[in-house]
Amino acid sequence: MRVVRVSSFFMTQTYNWYIARCFHKKSLAGEIKLIITEDRYEKDLIDKPWIGNHVHVIFIDERPIIIDTRDTSKFPMDVFKQFTDSKIIKFQYSSELYNNPPNDYEDKISEEEVNIIDKVYPFAGGRSMTLGFDSDELSEWKNNILSISKKIVSYTGEGIFKKRTLRRLDVYDLVSESVDNSNLDLIFYHRLHYSKENHDDKYLEKIKKYQNLELGINYDSQKLWQNYKDYISWLSRGEFSINIPGIACSQPFRLIDSVFANRKVITTKIYNDAYKDFPCIQIPFDGYFQNGDFDESKKIIQNCKFEDVDFQDVLKWYEKNLSVNGIWNQIEKIINN
């Protein structure tokens, strides 16, 4: 029986929900021994930028595992230097962007990071969640599902970098040029995610098109993100939602959201290794670097049908990766590598 040692802080962080739920359930079933302590093993570094609530050290059979849920492709080197015999589970991992990053990619890893890349592993960690560990997340919002009334309904907001934000808006423009606006509901949330100085005229003009649309039901677009039940209900009105993944931790959330809403996804190029096989419609267009076949992408968006993706395949993917056994199998594979 494996012995898993974690901090109580780790068990309460929403980004860790799927892993923490897995440990909780496996422990109750007598399949692992779970030890929860008050110590944070990375506690000397929690005030460092980018660590805080998103980098955690756990121990499985006394072997350290670093879990990195951050919205960056960079590795947690400060923590790794304290636990040099550790393996790193990374929620945001792209072998393509590690091995052959474009010149204008702002999140390239350093030579120091390249030297430990064999210790870093991609991981499908799901989305941030606040449910109890005994909840059935696939049934939680079933009563909130509405009838389909649009082809595409989607909600996104600012990225960490200004360039990411503008490119998300460019993808929205691509979609709005492909489908009649009466069949769309695209919302862009102006979250002040980066400094106000970066909100130039181009950005402020661009968001007007998507910032204050009428949602068709009594939802406040500024509060929609804060009320997940309302968000899933609103999302279920579309046959598809839009995923603009780039290599951002939050973007796989859109894939998981679609599962809860019983709907399908149209996505730009998926960089994150752990989500490349998610059943969806992937257009030949890069939502991060803005290259690809624009005209072919428009045709696919125009002509795609709800039945083009089998929702049973989506559920099988979810079960394989994000169920209690799916999470544990991912962890076992890394441990045994």
165 and 45 inside one domain: no
Q: Identify the band that residue 34 occupies on the pLDDT scale cut at 50, 70 and 90.
A: very high
**What integer pLDDT is reported at residue 314 of this predicted model?**
97
pLDDT digits (tens, 9 = 90+) for 159-174: 766 777 788 888 899 9
If one counts the domains in the chain, the total is 2
192 and 273 inside one domain: yes
306 and 206 inside one domain: yes
Indicate which CATH number applies to the domain containing 184: 3.40.50.2000
pTM: 0.91
C-alpha distances in angstroms, 242 versus 52, 221, 266, 323?
Answer: 30, 17, 5, 24
Strand pairing partners for 58? 65
Chain mean pLDDT for the chain = 87
Output the CA angle 114-277-27, nearest 5 degrees. Answer: 80
- By residue range, what is the domain housing residue 255? 142-320
208 and 66 inside one domain: no
Cβ neighbors of 2 (< 8 A, separation 6 or more) are 32, 33, 60, 61
Question: Domain ends where: 63, 88, 123?
Answer: 123
Q: Report the first-to-last Cα separation within the chain, whole angstroms.
A: 18
195 and 292 inside one domain: yes
Output the CA angle 148-152-155, nearest 5 degrees. Answer: 110
CA atoms of 130 and 267, how far apart (whole Å): 26
154 and 116 inside one domain: no
**What integer pLDDT is reported at residue 224 of this predicted model?**
52
User: Residue 247 has what DSSP assignment?
Assistant: T
- Does residue 19 sit within a domain? yes
Mean pLDDT throughout 163-192?
Answer: 85
User: Among 59, 72, 47, 61, which residue's Cα sits nearest to residue 10?
Assistant: 59
Cβ neighbors of 206 (< 8 A, separation 6 or more) are 166, 169
- pLDDT greater than 70 at residue 250: no
Lowest mean pLDDT among 292-296, 311-315, 319-323: 292-296
Cβ neighbors of 47 (< 8 A, separation 6 or more) are none
Question: Domain ends where: 65, 95, 123?
Answer: 123
176 and 310 inside one domain: yes
Question: Alpha helices of 183-220 — where are they, by DSSP H?
Answer: 201-211
- Does residue 47 sit within a domain? yes
